[in-house]
Amino acid sequence: MVSIAQPGRATETTAPPRQNPLLRYLRRHREFGSALAFLVVMFAAFAIASPGVFLRPQIYSAIFISLPISIILAVSLVFVIVAGEIDLAFPSVVGVSALVFTTVVSTGGNPWIGLVLALIAGVLAGVCNGFLVAYLGLSSLVATLGMNFLWRGLIQIVRQGNGAPLTFLNKTDLYQVLVGHIGWLPVQLIWGILFAVLGVLLFTRFRFGSQVACVGDNMEAAREMGINVKLVKLSAFAFVGLAAGLAGVLAILINNNFYPTVGDGYLLSVLAAVFVGGTPTWGGVGTIAGSVVGAFTVGSIETGIVAAGLTGYFTQFFYGVVIVLSLVTHRLTRPRAKVGGRW
């Protein structure tokens, strides 16, 4: 309540104008709103270019098959980037987890045990990456780039460049639970959404999310507040490892085979999804929901290009156009900070 005194009149109290809840939400979540608006505009353009394709549910069923892997990886990567770091090793961690799962099931082991061991392998690999950054003080850019080559080289050494057909997994319960179908809807999309919900809860409702944001915003202030900065960063990398473990198993089940390069194709697309979704590169702030929208945006580009009748040669060009335009949109919708007495 605000009191306003005027000469010759009694003091009266006026309430601030009530703001529309939707507008208030959009102002608080500008990055997510702009990412969602960009996705709607992009799909509207695709629908106009090829209405016979994008107005039918079958095209979305095809997109939803591999989209959950990008969602899972992008959601986890937000935590590392908000903490002020970067992880370039997650594609190889996907491969390591897939290798562990393949080794278990190929030798007659229970697929569920293979899933658990793959998740453990992913977490341990993430811990190794995080230890180099958090406890040894190495640059996350250089350290995780090196670990990306190290993990991938380990896979190649173990497998000698050979893949492994795993079509027999189609008859297992694990296959139906993780990548089966409910009507036309792939089950893995449900797991991707559930993982995104877990990410939102961790980021907004638990202490871990606020600690990650504090560390990325001001590391010294976080230490003075009693936050274990090293442990928080290590935990963020371990969370990426957990996501990579799940993504590795999903990739194996979707493709029905293991190949030594599994996971390599997700590096640039997942990073693009995080940044397109509205998470900046400088740390301290981020958006989990935006990363999901970003994954949907980036994952739909190639499908839209082909459906519009263009050749695959346009793919990289439109990747660049979409990423740059989305970043410009985020920049224009972000409120300007007042510095030095000027906006």
Residues 6+ apart with CB under 8 A from 290: 31, 32, 35, 277, 278, 279
Helix axes 207-217, 187-204, angle to 10 degrees: 70
Percent over 90 (pLDDT), the chain: 58
Q: Virtual CA dihedral for 241, 265, 325, 281, nearest 10 degrees?
A: 30
Q: So what's the pLDDT on residue 24?
A: 62
CATH topology (fold) of 34-40+49-328: ABC transporter involved in vitamin B12 uptake, BtuC (1.10.3470)
* Digit-coded pLDDT (tens) for 1-28: 444 445 545 444 555 556 566 556 556 6
* Spans of all domains in the chain: 34-40+49-328
CA 253 → CA 177, 248, 271, distances in Å?
Answer: 11, 9, 23
What is the per-residue pLDDT for 338? 37
Higher pLDDT, 44 or 7: 44
Q: What is the pLDDT of residue 220?
A: 92
pTM: 0.87
Strands 185-186 vs 181-182: parallel, antiparallel or unpaired: antiparallel
More confident residue, 280 or 146: 146
Cα torsion 64, 69, 75, 79 to 10°: value is -170
Measured CA to CA, the distance from residue 215 to residue 190 in angstroms comes to 31
Residue whose C-alpha is closest to residue 87's, from 3, 147, 166: 147
CA dihedral 36, 41, 47, 48 (to 10 degrees): 170
d(CA 101, CA 115): 6
Contact status, residue 80 vs residue 236, Cβ threshold 8 Å: yes
Torsion over CA: 105, 109, 111, 116 (sign): negative
Mean pLDDT over residues 251-274, rounded?
Answer: 92
Alpha-carbon distance of 157 to 331, in angstroms, equals 45
pLDDT for 262 beyond 70: yes
Closest CA to 122 of 146, 143, 91: 91
